[in-house]
Amino acid sequence: MLAGGDGPPGPGARPPLSMWAPVVAWVAGAAILAVVLLAVVPEPGPLDDPDEAAQRSGVLLSGPPVGDLSLPGDPVGRRPVVLVFDRRLPDPDALERFVDGVADGALVVLAVPEPGSAAVPELPPRTRLLSTGAGRLAAATGMPEPRDGGFPVGYAIVGPQGRLRYATLGPTYLRRPYEIAVLTEALR
């Protein structure tokens, strides 16, 4: 801590700044901040959560049991299940990269409202497609409604104990499988 006596101040010693300098610096800083916040940081999009704080919070929940969910493939309760909600089937390559990035051992279930039976591509390993009831699943897992009011795009995570541990909107989820990996890894 600086004390007054740290250096013997001489008579007439002046501060090296004008008294206006702090005020000018504050005005300049506020202007830069305004430009950054208004022009650089993007506004939420139509697929984002109206409550920005709720989107990708990174905090695991201690949610309700979801054991009665009817899912294709392995039943809930043995390993983490990642429920991916989207309005259309993702690009196969992007989906494969995404599934590869998710932690080993997790089951990925795609819930798409209208997948289109003729266009279903081959799915990566550990991936299932929920062909019907995507809306009911979204409601059952408490997926938030996006700003445009449509079907949610994001994901939910059900823990090995069969409880809902995470549910978030995330329109660009395919680019960040590591997020899901960190969350599912913490559930082991």
Question: How near is the Cβ of 22 to another protein at its closest, in Å?
Answer: 4
How far is the C-alpha of 75 from the C-alpha of 72, rounded, in Å?
A: 8
The residue behind tokens 């329109």 is 171
**Dihedral of the CA atoms 182, 77, 111, 169 (nearest 10)?**
-40
Other C-beta atoms closer than 10 Å to the C-beta of 36 total: 10
Site string for another protein, 127-166 (x = CB under 8 A): ----------------------------------------
Beta strands in 102-143 (DSSP E): 107-111, 127-130
Task: Select from 87, 97, 147, 176 the one that contacts another protein (CB under 8 A).
Answer: 176
Q: Which is nearer to another protein, 60 or 140 (CB)?
A: 60
Question: How near is the Cβ of 156 to another protein at its closest, in Å?
Answer: 15
Residue pair 183/60 in contact by the 8 Å Cβ criterion? yes
Query: Which stretch, 15-23, 90-98, 114-122, 132-140, contacts another protein (CB under 8 A)?
Result: 15-23
Residues 35-54 that bind another protein (CB under 8 A): 36-37, 40-42, 44, 52-53
The residue behind tokens 């005005």 is 27
Task: Select from 9, 116, 125, 149 the one that contacts another protein (CB under 8 A).
Answer: 9
Does 73 contact another protein by CB under 8 A? no
How many residues appear in the chain?
188
Residue pair 103/184 in contact by the 8 Å Cβ criterion? yes
Does 62 contact another protein by CB under 8 A? no
How far is the C-alpha of 36 from the C-alpha of 136, rounded, in Å?
A: 40
Give the residues lining the site for another protein (CB under 8 A): 1-23, 25-26, 29-30, 32-33, 36-37, 40-42, 44, 52-53, 55-60, 171-172, 175-176, 178-179, 181-183, 185-186
